[in-house]
Amino acid sequence: MHAKLVTKAEMGSNPTTLPDSMNVQELVKSLTAQGGAAAAAALGKEGLAKLLPIGLLQSRLKSTATEQAPAPDVARTPTQEDRASAEPMSRGLSRIASNSSLSSQRSKPTGKAAAAAAAKGGSTGRTGGAGTNSEAVATPQPDNNTVFPRRDDPAQMVEAPIFKPTEKEFHDPMEYIERIAPIASRFGICRIIPPVSFKPECRIADDMRFMAYNQYVHKMLHRWGPSAKEYAAIKKYLATQSINLQSPPVIGGMEVDLPRLYHTVQELGGLKEVIEKKKWARVSEDMCIPKAAHDRVSKLDDIYCKYLLPYDTLSPAERQKLFDEVEADWAKREAKARRNADKGVGSELRNSGDSDEDDSNEDGGGEEDDTEEDDDECSMECIVKGRSMPLNQFFRIARNTMSLWFRNSEPSVAEIEAEYWRHVAVRDSHVCVHSGSIDSSAFGYGFPNPKVKGSSCAKHPWNLKVLTNNSGSILRSLGPVMGITIPTLHVGMLFSACCWYRDPHGLPWIEYLHTGANKIWYGVPDDQNANFRAALTVLVPTHCQNKTIWLPCDTAMVPPHMLTDRSVSLCRTEQQPGQFVVVFPRAYTSSLCTGYAVSESVYFATNSWLDTAKEDFRVNV
């Protein structure tokens, strides 16, 4: 499946922004009583937009350093906030209260009736997306034979359900998702394989610019490890020589593993031996730096002399003393982080690298002045802001990254998954990859705009730009809101991940993999949330904050076996290009790219979301 390249002139317009949020508790209460979709429709765009919170923004999206309009040639990057603000708005509430002529809610069995219907594979009572009554139909069954463990069963990871709708079933996404929910929601996530006739094009452009984020795989579980420790020692000693190593040097768009470079040179006889016998090519080979990386040999020579030669001159005793000092420094930082977590105070995502220059820091580390406090904050993050780059540069870096870690083979998904979790757990290598999220409406990226002529999928119900306006989604009355009702385009590469997280208000969402390598998903359903929180509080206590939104986004990737060892059952699925993954209300998810990939996601909210929304709004507002 290949993405279609188009020019900016063919693409759409910018979205509107979301007004300040109002009293969402009363909104959800009213919608539940009046019949969700009908009540939302009666409120209209302005009424609902005033009441729904900004906190619904997609958890994976990164906040920008400043609020400013993007340059004409830069794709707009959505912002995100962890928590919604809520202020009472008597005029908006009275509009809901006085609306006595709202349509009656659709019938849906509850309690024992709903359980009996699900057990018999019967109808959930959901009507068509347009709001017309329809005859009861059987609940679609998953294509794979999978069962989620019961609460009293031993914890384990199982396969998420896979659904293959027929052409007839594929006509309304909201209706279909509601029909499979009694089965699929027990797993938290599911995968949907569309009929073969569904072949949408993906509109992207090589010069599409976006802000890339650096993901440090060796810090995804614990921020401290062998690689981070030695890098901190190198950085600390360089500071005594008036050299400020703000970030690692870069070759071929990839950060150089300085501790590994040091040990590779030592294994080849030391710097003098490498220089005299011209072994820099051997050094680059041993470090698996791709030949496609420009001037890799000369750059390694320069990097070693500039950043590692002072460290190389230390005696073993001096080096051990340096290690002891950085260990003590880290212990203080970790103690501070734990105190902040207990108080419910988290660190902000660092903006380390606002430069828009494509080749900034390409032949050496950054040397801009920075405070010690800023360094402490950065060291406590596993995902930080990188630099703006076009898609074609991102693709080259993705190709180099694959060659770096799997040089002489075509790895299987299982091999990539195992290697990723090894880096997360062992932490003996400096592993930096990139990811990006892009507002799909800026130039009409991703699925074709419904207004585009000549596209077979422009008006297809499963086109995410069409799905967001489905009459069965309560959020449609918001109109176009970036990060909520406007789909977001995601780009990733080998080892790019989305950390464990769930939407603050338990909103469901759907993601379509347009092109590229497979994507691995993990899901923890709602009824496992208590066990999940208890497990992470033990495994990564400094990442878990003592407040309602206890696990911020971009915080932690915990290996599945560590969760099952602590009584957390979860599911896994492997999404392929051309397939959907649906995340159900209140589920925690994480995902992992196995190579360069382009996907698109958007929020939605069916009537069933209202069953849990009141509780989520109560604790979050």
* pLDDT for residue 585: 95
- What integer pLDDT is reported at residue 195 of this predicted model? 97
The CATH classification number of 157-208+380-617 equals 2.60.120.650
Dist. CA 2–CA 525, nearest whole Å: 33
Does residue 41 contact residue 234 with C-beta atoms inside 8 Å? no
Q: Are 351 and 31 in contact (CB under 8 A)?
A: no
pLDDT tens, residue by residue, 489-509: 999 999 999 999 999 889 999
**Tokens linked to 180:** 């499979």
Separation CA 484–CA 18 (nearest Å): 9
Share of the chain above pLDDT 70, in %: 71
- Give residue 380's pLDDT band: very low, low, confident or very high (50, 70, 90): confident
* pLDDT computed for residue 344 by the predictor: 62
187 to each of 432, 484, 527, how far by Cα in Å?
Answer: 31, 24, 9
Q: Which residue has the higher pLDDT, 12 or 347?
A: 347
From the number of C-beta atoms within 10 Å of its C-beta (0-12, 13-18, 19+), residue 197 rates as exposed
State whether residue 210 is helix, strand or coil.
strand
Confidence class for position 69, pLDDT limits 50, 70, 90 = very low
Query: Which part of the chain has CATH 2.60.120.650?
Result: 157-208+380-617
Beta strand 597-603 with 488-492 is antiparallel
pTM (2 decimals)? 0.79
What is the model's pLDDT at position 491? Answer: 98
Instruction: Please say whether the beta carbons of 484 and 558 come within 8 A.
Output: no
What number of other Cβ atoms are within 10 A of residue 577's Cβ?
19
Q: Which residues contact 472 (CB under 8 A, 6 or more apart)?
A: 37, 129, 131, 172, 174, 175, 178, 606, 607
Confidence of residue 378 (pLDDT cuts 50, 70, 90): low
How confident is the model over 478-489, as a mean pLDDT? 90
Lowest mean pLDDT across 27-41, 94-108, 298-312: 94-108
Does the domain at 224-320 match CATH 2.40.10.10? Answer given as no
> How much is the mean pLDDT over the chain?
79
Helix residue ranges, H only, 7-151: 24-34, 36-51, 90-97, 111-119
Q: What is the pLDDT of residue 201?
A: 92
pLDDT band at 341 (very low <50, low <70, confident <90, very high): confident
Whether residue 549 contacts residue 83, with contact meaning beta carbons closer than 8 Å, is answered with yes
CA distance 230 to 236: 10
Residues 188, 582: Cα–Cα separation, whole Å = 8
d(CA 301, CA 258): 12
Tokens at 263, concatenated: 């040990």
Lowest mean pLDDT segment, chosen from 27-41, 141-155, 577-591, 602-616: 27-41
| pLDDT higher than 50, residue 112 | no
Whole-angstrom distance, CA of residue 604 vs CA of residue 598: 20
What pLDDT, on a 0 to 100 scale, did the predictor assign at position 11? Answer: 41
- The crossing angle, in degrees rounded to 10, of helices 173-184 and 111-119 is 90
Instruction: Give dist(CA 172, CA 180) in Å, integer.
Output: 13
Give, in degrees to the nearest 5, the angle at Cα 490 between 608 and 353.
125
369 CB neighbour count, 10 Å cutoff:
7
Query: Three-class SS of residue 325?
Result: helix
Q: Which of 6-10, 95-99, 512-516, 521-525 comes out lowest in average pLDDT?
A: 95-99
Q: State yes or no: pLDDT of 422 exceeds 60.
A: yes
Question: Where does CATH 1.10.150.60 sit in the chain?
Answer: 224-320
pLDDT of residue 77: 52
Residue with tokens 């630099």: 387
Mean pLDDT of 409-436: 96
Residue count (the chain): 621
* Buried residues in 534-543 as b, exposed as e (16+ CB within 10 A): ebbbebbebb
What confidence tens digit (pLDDT) does each residue in 253-309 have?
Answer: 999 999 999 999 999 999 999 999 999 999 999 999 998 888 899 999 999 999 999
Q: What is the pLDDT of residue 587?
A: 96
- Give the integer Cα–Cα distance in Å for 262 and 304: 8
* Residue whose pair of structure tokens reads 């007839």 in the numeric block: 168
In this predicted model, which residue has the larger pLDDT, 88 or 172? 172
Note the pLDDT of residue 335.
Answer: 86
Asked if residue 83 has pLDDT above 80, the reply is no
Tokens of 97: 């209260």
Q: Which residues contact 310 (CB under 8 A, 6 or more apart)?
A: 237, 238, 241, 243
Tell me which DSSP letter residue 161 carries.
P
pLDDT at 549: 84
What distances in angstroms separate CA 81 from CA 27, 484, 559, 599, one per listed residue?
Answer: 20, 12, 26, 22
For range 383-405, the mean pLDDT: 96
- Residue 342 pLDDT class (50, 70, 90 cuts): confident
* Token code pair at residue 19: 């007004």
* Per-residue pLDDT at 148 exceeds 70: yes
Neighbours of 145 (CB within 10 A): 8
Is-contact 514 577, C-beta < 8 A? yes
Predicted pLDDT of residue 620:
59
Of 8-12, 201-205, 508-512, 592-596, which gets the smallest average pLDDT?
Answer: 8-12
Distance of CA 233 to the CA centre of its chain: 31
Are 268 and 282 in contact, with CB atoms under 8 Å apart? yes
- The residue among 86 and 546 whose pLDDT is bigger is 546
What's the CA gap between 598 and 578, in Å, rounded?
11
- DSSP assignment letter at 425: H
Under the banding of pLDDT at 50, 70 and 90, the label for residue 451 is confident
Band of residue 33 on the pLDDT scale cut at 50, 70, 90: low
Mean pLDDT in residue range 200-215? 94
Mean pLDDT of 76-101: 34
Query: How far out from the chain centre does Cα 374 lie?
Result: 24
